[in-house]
Amino acid sequence: MLHMDTLDQRIISRLVADARASFADIGAAVGLSAPAVKRRVDKLLDLGVLQGFTAVVDPEALGWGTEAFVEVHCHGNVPAHRIRGGLEPLPEVVAAYTVSGQADAIVHMRAADIHHLETAMERLRAVDFVNRTVSTVVLSRLLDRPPPADRA
């Protein structure tokens, strides 16, 4: 599946640090010409290793300053794709995972404030397969960063 060498990893690392860096700058950093970098980036996009480029926005500044993690416990056995389908319409859900342990899923939610979070969680609890939720409100964000380019 992967012909991913050290050069690709260094290119990815540079793009994670700055997605708007020019191919020429990246090339200078990794020792390649700009077209060579572009060919590798295009290949990585095609393979799905790179999924795209995005802006990092301060949620506070956009009015999404309150977040919470919610354990979702379902009625009986609900397949993952059905959980996904139930959560996808809720705009406050920024991430969701099926998990091992007592809970069936962990849902990461963002809202404007506590009141908005409350109404969003009411909508979450109203989803048909949801039985019980256990929510944990975030007080402060300590860290938020991409994983290292090369594994330890």
Partner DNA sequence: CGTGAAAGTACAACCGA
Partner DNA sequence: TCGGTTGTACTTTCACG
Site for its own copies, rule CB under 8 A: 1-2, 4, 9, 12, 15-20, 47-59, 61-64, 67, 69, 80, 83-84, 87-88, 91-101, 103, 105-106, 110, 112, 116, 136-149, 151-152
Whole-angstrom distance, CA of residue 132 vs CA of residue 136: 14
State the binding string over 21-50 for DNA (x if CB under 7 A, else -). -xxxx-x---xxxxxx-xxx----------
Whole-angstrom distance, CA of residue 117 vs CA of residue 66: 7
| Interacting residues with DNA between 78 and 117 (CB under 7 A) | none
Residue 109 phi, psi (nearest 5):
-120, 150
Nearer to DNA, 47 or 134 (CB): 47
As measured in angstroms, the least distance from the Cβ of 25 to DNA is 6
**Nearest CA to 38 among 26, 29, 47, 49?**
26
Whole-angstrom distance, CA of residue 43 vs CA of residue 70: 37
